[in-house]
Amino acid sequence: MRFAYLFTAVVAAGLAACVQSPPTGYATPVTLSEQTGFAVDRLMAGATPGGVPRNMTILVASLADLRGSEIRQTSNFGRLVSEQISEHLVQQGYRVPEVRLAGSILLKDSGEFVLSRQLQDLRRSHNAELAIASTFTSIGPRTYVNLKLIRLADAMAIGASDFEWRRIGDY
Q: Is the dihedral of CA 123, 126, 132, 138 positive or negative?
A: negative
pLDDT above 50 (res 115): no
Write down the pLDDT at residue 7. Answer: 38
Domain residue extents for the chain = 28-166
Higher-pLDDT residue of 15 and 156 is 156
Model pLDDT for residues 27-84, shown as the tens digit of each residue: 544 899 999 999 999 999 988 888 899 889 999 888 888 886 666 667 888 889 999 9
28-166 folds as Rossmann fold (3.40.50)
Write down the pLDDT at residue 118. Answer: 62
Q: Where do the DSSP E strands lie in the chain?
A: 58-60, 64-65, 106-109, 112-115, 130-139, 142-151, 156-166
Can you tell me the distance from the alpha carbon of 61 to that of 2, in angstroms, rounded to the nearest whole number? 60
